[in-house]
Chains A and B, each alone.
Chain A
Amino acid sequence: MLALLSSAARHARRRPGGALLAILGVALGVAVVLGIDLANAASLRAMELSVERAAGRATHSVVGSPDVDERLLRTLRADLGLRAAAPVVERDVALSPAESTAAPAPDEVLRLLGLDPFCEAPFRPYLASAESGFAVDLDRFLASPDAVLLGAETARRLGVEVGARLDLRLGAERRSVELIGVLEPRDGFDAELLRGLMLCDIATAQELTGSLGRLTRIDLVLDDGPAGEAQRAQVEALLGPGERIESTGARVGTLARLTRGFRLNLQALSLLALVVGGFLVFNALSFAVVERREELGLLRTLGATRAQVSVAILIETGLLAGVGVVLGLVLGTALGAGLVHLVLRTINDLYFSLEVGASTLAPGSLGKAAVLGLVTSMVAVLAPLREALRIEPHRALQRSSLEQRAQSRARLGLVLGAVLLILGAAVIAAAGRSIQISYAGLFAGLVGAALIAPRATDLLLGLAEGPLARLLGGTGRMAARGARRSLSRTSVAVAALSVALAASLGVAVLVTSFRATVVTWLDSALVGDVFVTSPSLTATRTTGSIDPSLVERLERTPGIVGTQTFRGRVLQTSVGRVQVIGVGIDRARFERYLFAEGSAAIWDDFAAGRACVVTEPLAFHHGLSLGDEFEIESPGGALTLPIGAVTRDYASDSGVVVVHLELLNGLLEDERLSSFTFEVAQDASVDAVIAGLRERLAPDEDLQIRSNRSLRAETLRVFDRTFAVTSVLRALTLVVALVGVFSALSALGLDARRELATLRAVGMTPGQLWRTLSTQHALLGAAAGLYAIPLGYALAWCMVAVINRQAFGWTLLDLEPAYGAVATAVVGSVVVAVLAGAWPARRVSRSSVVEALRDE
């Protein structure tokens, strides 16, 4: 036994390259699993932070007509124990220029926001700026009846400093307040939210606006799912006359779903890493045994029993795998954390960087990676070992038996791969809403695709043979044939490479698609350049309370080039109570809807009130499709409309029905609006337009006016930090794929020394030899890279369009092509493959032919 082990040790010493490559392979497999888990954790945390920033956190608001009894706050917080409930008093105030100012300037309008700082923790994070803290005299903020705060930018624009007195006009009343502090925004996004805000204590706001005992609204954060429904019912039971609870709609819900989808896809990636890691480990170790068949045969002929040889090999494998696992854990952590920190250094937000940088691995990650490394290593050697020991010792010394085995294995792989691929697809199709089952299907499909990879590569190489021969002559043909022949030994490497490249590509496509989704969501959530709504309504879609004549008056403001109007109402329909949105839009805007089914061609029917549009979640949940009849009940009677189109929508989980505004007004028998938006000419200033709108408002017309154009830009900036973090995932998968190719093909090159020596012996020059080997490797790299393209897209599509939709009822946008990533994957794999061949070729061309052929 000892003799056998020392033989193994001698083998390792004699050929350190082989042992090293085996360790590297295991390490790489373990590292990719760990590194991706780390990058996943960081990406998810980044996404959560971005969503939290962009959304605020209120999921619902209690609003009234016109306002809410302040006693409800105590009931909610103390009796119901609802901790995330914050009172808000909100109103526009006009800032009169100081008496001393010589030239009277027009009144500046600010939004007075009264809050209770003790209830704010879950809401409005932009008020707690990271740089300065809430560096304000809290006692004065609370106790003084005239203390207010401004954003630093607003204070600068108004030319006021801390301690200044400001004269406010609220309707007919005049009040004087004192600026006791300014809030420094930590970035452009916060600055955007603070713009035009005047902040004060809730009691101060009640006194200033004369709304004693009343609140504009109470913001709430309710739980997701059934628990949230129960909470909502509890709150509803407490409401007084005229009070109602409304979902804050678009922003929070969508972003929560976006986060869930993101998390889901990251989990799938983690799974993918497991497949890639498994292949890399398997390749490294099974190759290590295959390479030593002859030696094992020799040992058997010398009298070693099967058991003895098996134990020796398993111990040896265990040692190699152990070293590889430890190295992999270190490498994975270093790679994952290192890359994340590298990316974070480019992000100029201390809080974000700290939070994301501090994200930690899930408890099981280290164990998972280690077990994968060890178990796969053992499995990897078992099959070739059994094979090597089953046959008669003398036959093990013949190479031809190996090739025969390899060929039958390739056929088996192809069949098994095809079966798994079909099985995987079937499982995903039948999985319904179970994510675990979908994942199992995805896993099976991936393994299947990987098993087919060698055959697919063979096919690609076969196709390339002719053109190559014409292009490069004999060298080209020889390279193509050599590459195909080598597949018996490189099939697992090619499979691993394909899956790793596909993963890298899949990540790129996913991230690009997620970003496109955010952009589209921003367009739909922050419609138009200027958004106007009634102040008690935080939602973009609510019951109507605005007189349409107001819109006509306001849209004459210079700079406005387009208007869209909205009205929402929950009505009984053929599928239960559904939010019905009436839209006053033109054809051009309608054409910009994201149609999942049908098209803008139904515009004429839609505008004439002869068709409705439903959103994807509604269609998905109720099994609606084009042409179905949809019934809406209303005070004005019931109406049945055909469904003309299904649109993608990120604003509502349960889905909405969209009809033309005039149709809804007809059903409700009056003309009111919930909100409207203005498009502002590209070269015009949105701020100037908003100032113009304010001038046209009478003092008692209280409307909330918001610049959506800059908010869109700043929100996207917030999200781009998240996508920057996900670039770590792309880099990681790509690096692992490329290192994997390098190690697999280097091993191949070492193994092919004798073949190369023969070629030299028959008269090939070192240059020709090098060219042949390089071309052969380049072909393998290119073939694997090309195979990875459809696989990568299929993967991304599967995650985005199938699993995501099954889980949440909505799809991301169409897959984005991500050309750059495709090019990187293919070119990268070719370059690395060539480099991997360079060293063995160089060694052979320099070594003496006789020596290389001596074993023969």
Chain B
Amino acid sequence: MKLTLDIWRQKDSASEGHFETYEVDDLDPGMSVLEMFDRLNEHLILEGKEPVTFESDCRESICGCCGVTIDGHPHGPTPHMTTCMQRLRQFTDGQRLRIEPLRAGAYPVVQDLMVDRSGLDRIIAAGGNVDVDAGSAPDAEALPVEHATVEKALDFAVCIGCGACVAACPNGAAMLFTGAKLLHLSLLPMPKIERNRRAERMVAAMEGEFGACSLYGECSAVCPEEIPLTAVAAVQHERLGALLARKL
């Protein structure tokens, strides 16, 4: 199988990037997109050229490392699937693909297809956590939680932090990411205690780097974990709730 790739090449965040065209012809339809890059890079190294930089780690759709934009689709044309799981059999032999990094103002390109997504970490650091020191937690059985509540919390806790939602958003917003975390923690009894403070801090951190929501719905449409737009509403819910909860 053969594919023609227009790949974004950029030396560092200060440089201007451009597309370069490569042909890879020893491909197998069962390979993933990242394995295609592996092949390409081996060829490039042997030809004495600079290999294409891209991020990947677990390659089983859970770590959130990988992510490129293929023909304008963050992660790739098959929806709800990380780049590492996108297989070549969805393309036709000889097809031409346009490969770019995940694009957003808050994602400066480090090199080629690798971007810096540390903005998402800053949101979590700001408040996406629980103020309980190790050893001081009460017995987990002491606070019963409804079966359905835990399952619902898990629906949002499954976020892998790949940041494709931001890249898909025409506003560069991180509402789905932030809202999923707010909702995950607000549903559970212990983490729920500090929900107002958390919402204030996480939303402040989020708005420091990311855009606002216009409800395009692109985030949810690309999310590998299919997190629903409820998460977007959760940001407003938790933040307005924090405003109304101010007492004294």
Decide whether A and B assemble into one complex.
no
